[in-house]
Chain A
Amino acid sequence: MHYTFDIERGNFTDAGQASSSVKRTLKQLGVDPANIKRTVVALFEAEINAVAHAYGGKIDVDIDGEKIVMVVADEGPGIPNLDLAMQEGWSTASAKVREMGYGAGMGLPNIKKNTDDLKIDTKVGVGTTVTMTVYLT
């Protein structure tokens, strides 16, 4: 099954809608709660990043009996130093993002922890594509 969602630029009010909808779908499909949780936590953090640090983008989710593959692709500034960005506590979040409750610098490390495979393609001045895979077995 394939699902697509748009992430609106700067829209913090609705950020998380895609992750919420994926959560409902996984529940309906009868995926076990532990796998649902790690999947949606990773997707949610990536979705928030696309709003908080970039100018929105698109989410693609593919689900088969074996795995869930999620691709969050944004248009944005890209990540100049990925090693630094992956460190716990590193954040360039704006005051507005912090006001919303984000900017602890724990998002990317937590995505890594919750997924079985993580790939980040990023180009400064162009955007970032985060590909996350969760195996269901």
Chain B
Amino acid sequence: MKIKEIAELVGGEIVGAPSDDEYEVVKAFASDLMSDVLRFSMDETVLITGLCNNQTMRTSEMADLRVVLIGRDKQPDAEMLELAEDSGITIIKSKYSIFKISGILYAAGIQPLY
């Protein structure tokens, strides 16, 4: 699924690095614990999280994530957006809860990591 389709499904807004229209998202992982994100391969994966700070971006950078979906209507600050742009990470921000976002994407065919 394309990044823009995901954004549409969760009523989201795209910020951070511009979305790569070629990038295909196959899987999703939901976590507020950054060390857990670093335990798995994040290939073709969108991270769904309610953690909205610099460490969300640093962790995503280390994990080779290309797209991060921030739920619960959290607002990334200017520094976070700059980190996202520097490391080429697209942020989708959504007002929905993590549970709702996960349900919508699962129903639309996005796979769990495990």
CB neighbors of A among B47-77 (8 A): 51, 53-56, 58-59, 61-64
Interface size range of chain A in the complex: 20 to 34
A106 adjacent to B62 (CB under 8 Å): no
B51 adjacent to A101 (CB under 8 Å): yes
Residues of B within 8 A of A48 (CB): 55
Take A16-B62, A19-B62, A101-B33 as given contacts and tell me if A110 and B54 are in contact as well, using a CB distance cutoff of 8 Å.
no
CB neighbors of B among A32-54 (8 A): 33, 37, 40-41, 44-45, 48
- CB of B58 to closest CB in A, whole Å: 3
- Count residues on chain B whose CB falls below 8 Å from chain A CBs: 20
Q: Decide yes or no whether A100 CB sits under 8 A from chain B.
A: yes
Chain B contact residues: over half helix, strand or loop, or mixed?
helix
Closest chain B residue to A36, Cβ basis: B64
Identify which of A14, A23, A37, A106 contacts B35 (C-beta below 8 A).
Answer: A106
- CB of A85 to closest CB in B, whole Å: 14
Identify which of B32, B36, B55, B87 contacts A106 (C-beta below 8 A).
Answer: B36
Q: Decide yes or no whether A104 CB sits under 8 A from chain B.
A: yes
Q: Which residues of B contact A (CB under 8 A)?
A: 32-36, 38-39, 51, 53-56, 58-59, 61-64, 79, 87
